[in-house]
């Protein structure tokens, strides 16, 4: 998974959306204590930065040192590169002691993980019984009818052969992903719960976002430029139709959240 994002690490840091404050307020309201959060697959630190304003300490782990280089340096955040699979006996060294973590977050990354092995680690580090695990993904960007009509075939047809099969879990809004945790107080299921994040973008910034896709990099390595001249021209015409360069781009966010219980 890490290899998919190394070459476009800067584009990822520059163009990927941050997540809405409402998402973090909802998640943090479910953790009785706010001593330590573990952000897994932290990448360039989009989620870790927000968690740092709520939790006393944050550990952000990722397999990609290149992505971690672009993460914001904050006094209460420790970034840690890890192997693709952290041995259980080394989990305390990389993350924290057993039953010491209040919250585990996974932003736009759970679909890449070896879930049985990862969930064993989550259950080991979380405080019992109310430690919380929250995983979310965001789906395709929404701009306006003109731009979205160009984006639809670009995503569903042009880029489709170059996505990893795990991407289907994102297309399904995490509704079908294995998530063996208990519903939180006040909820009768573990999600997905819907939020929306927004980012103002120019067309160039929108293109930078598209270039940050793993599918874009995979296609490029196969000698295919997904943003070939005719596609770029279609996007330009649609984008400029209303005469405004900057546009609010919406990303629907889908959250799975639960507590560890006495597992």
Q: How far apart are CA 127 and CA 6, in angstroms?
A: 33
Where do the H-state alpha helices sit in the chain?
3-6, 9-15, 21-28, 46-52, 65-68, 91-94, 115-125, 145-153, 167-171, 203-211, 214-221, 229-239
For the chain, 263 residues long, give each residue's pLDDT as a single digit of tens.
555 444 444 544 455 578 999 999 999 999 999 999 999 999 989 999 999 999 999 999 999 998 899 899 999 999 999 998 999 999 999 999 999 999 999 999 999 999 999 999 999 999 999 999 999 999 999 999 999 999 999 999 999 999 999 999 999 999 999 999 999 988 999 999 999 999 999 999 999 999 989 899 999 999 999 999 999 999 999 999 999 999 999 999 999 999 999 87
What are the phi and psi torsion angles at 185 (to 5°)? Answer: -60, 135
Token pair for 136: 């979310």
Query: Where along the chain do its domains lie?
Result: 1-143+165-200+249-259
Q: What is the pLDDT of residue 168?
A: 95
Q: What is the pLDDT of residue 186?
A: 87
Q: Taking the model in full, what pTM does it have?
A: 0.90
Q: How far apart are CA 65 and CA 216, in angstroms?
A: 21
229 upstream amide cis, omega within 30 of 0 = no
The edge-to-edge listing of strands for the beta sheet with 247-259 is 77-81, 57-62, 36-40, 103-107, 132-138, 247-259, 193-201
Q: How far apart are CA 238 and CA 232, in angstroms?
A: 10
Q: What is the pLDDT of residue 71?
A: 92
Q: What is the pLDDT of residue 42?
A: 94
Q: How far apart are CA 215 and CA 195, in angstroms?
A: 25
CATH code at 1-143+165-200+249-259: 3.40.50.150
Report the residue count for the chain: 263
What are the phi and psi torsion angles at 197 (to 5°)? Answer: -115, 145
Query: What residues contact residue 145 under an 8 Å CB cut-off, 6+ apart?
Result: none
Q: How far apart are CA 190 and CA 248, in angstroms?
A: 30
Q: What is the pLDDT of residue 17?
A: 73
Q: How far apart are CA 169 and CA 177, in angstroms?
A: 6
């Amino acid at each position: 998974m890490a290899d998919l994002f190394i070459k476009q690490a800067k584009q990822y840091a520059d163009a990927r959306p941050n997540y809405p404050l409402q998402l973090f307020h909802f998640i943090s309201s479910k953790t009785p204590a706010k001593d330590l959060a573990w952000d897994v697959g932290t990448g360039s630190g989009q989620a870790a930065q927000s968690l740092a304003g709520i939790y006393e300490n944050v550990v952000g782990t990722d397999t990609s040192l290149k992505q971690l280089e672009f993460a914001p340096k904050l006094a209460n955040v420790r970034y840690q590169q890890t192997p693709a699979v952290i041995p259980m006996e080394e989990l305390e060294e990389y993350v924290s002691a057993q039953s010491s973590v209040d919250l585990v977050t996974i932003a736009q990354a759970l679909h890449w993980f070896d879930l049985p092995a990862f969930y064993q680690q989550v259950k080991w580090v979380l405080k019992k019984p109310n430690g919380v695990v929250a995983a979310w993904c965001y789906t395709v960007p929404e701009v306006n009818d003109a731009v979205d009509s160009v984006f639809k075939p670009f995503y569903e047809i042009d880029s489709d052969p170059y996505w990893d099969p795990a991407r289907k879990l994102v297309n399904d809004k995490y509704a079908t992903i294995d998530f063996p945790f208990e519903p939180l107080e006040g909820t009768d299921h573990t999600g997905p719960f819907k939020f929306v994040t927004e980012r103002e973008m120019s067309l160039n910034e929108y293109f930078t976002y598209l270039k940050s896709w793993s599918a874009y990099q995979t296609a490029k390595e196969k000698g295919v430029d997904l943003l070939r001249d005719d596609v770029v021209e279609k996007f330009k015409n649609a984008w400029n139709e209303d005469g405004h360069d900057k546009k609010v781009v919406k990303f629907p966010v889908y959250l799975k959240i639960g507590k560890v219980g006495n597992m």
